[in-house]
Amino acid sequence: MGTRLHVLHVTTAKELGLLADTPLNEDKRITAEVCIPHLLFTSSDYSALGPFIKCNPAIKDVFDKEALRSAVNSGLIDVIATDHAPHLLGDKEGGALKAASGMPMVQFSLLSMLKLVDEGVFSIEKIVEKMCHAPAKIYTIYNRGYIRTGYQADLVVIKPAANWRLTSKDILSKCKWSPVEGEIFNYQIEKTFVNGCLVYSDRQLINKNHRGQELKFRIRN
């Protein structure tokens, strides 16, 4: 039949048993993704972060986190996604039963993954593959996901910046909080380009009126 299926929000080692670690190409019909929070946190972090890391599906234990990390490296997991959900602080109040699910992840997604690179969990090439190349391949997004002649220049420039602590003043999201606030990083985002336009530089948003473009998709054979 040839139907394709992309599985979102894989969070457990048990789910991984249903996936295949075949290379990502036209013949791979079932693909899967993991969200960044499930690569960073475990259930033991609830004692410190509480409802701020409440999400659906829930954060699991360290066994599942390590299995997910291994699956990214082996090819069982094809994509690393953000699951960006920038709830206001007031929406995260009320404990586990009342707090909204989800957390803001877009701004510090790359920094969080680079921290795992520093820790030896992933290679930087693996991060580029799972966050840039693979989404473009799976969804056949036209002229994006790679640095190539004729492709849209969606680029991030990073620079080494040893041992700096993320504080609330670094957060540009209107929600004004992050689950990784207080973490130590060894890189900073120097510049961000969207469609070739500089939109972020020196820790400030610029060209705020610049907007993205409608995605185009290739037709599969």
Q: For 48-96, write each residue's pLDDT tens digit.
A: 999 999 999 999 999 999 999 999 999 999 999 999 999 999 999 988 8
User: Domain of 34: which CATH number?
Assistant: 3.20.20.140
The answer to whether 170 is a known catalytic residue is no
Write the secondary structure of the chain as one string of H (helix), E (strand) and C (coil): CCCCEEECCCCCHHHHCCCCCCCCCCCCCEEEEEEHHHHHCCHHHHHHHHHHHCCCCCCCCHHHHHHHHHHHHHCCCCEEECCECCCCHHHHCCHHHHCCCCECCCCCHHHHHHHHHHCCCCCHHHHHHHHHHHHHHHCCECCCCCCCCCCCCCEEEEEEEEEEECCHHHCCCCCCCCCCCCCEEEEEEEEEEECCEEEEECCEECCCCCCCCCCCECCCC
Domain assignment of residue 214, yes or no? no
- The pTM score is 0.94
Catalytic residue among 64, 78, 83, 154: 83
Residue 43 lies in a domain: yes
Q: What is the pLDDT of residues 153-175, one digit of tens each?
A: 999 999 999 899 999 999 999 99
Q: pLDDT of 131-158, one tens digit each? A: 999 999 999 999 999 999 999 999 999 9
Residue 108 lies in a domain: yes
127 assigned to some structural domain:
yes
Residue 211 lies in a domain: no
Domain with 55, as residue range(s), is 5-205
* 215 within a domain of the structure (yes/no): no
Q: How many domains does the chain have?
A: 1
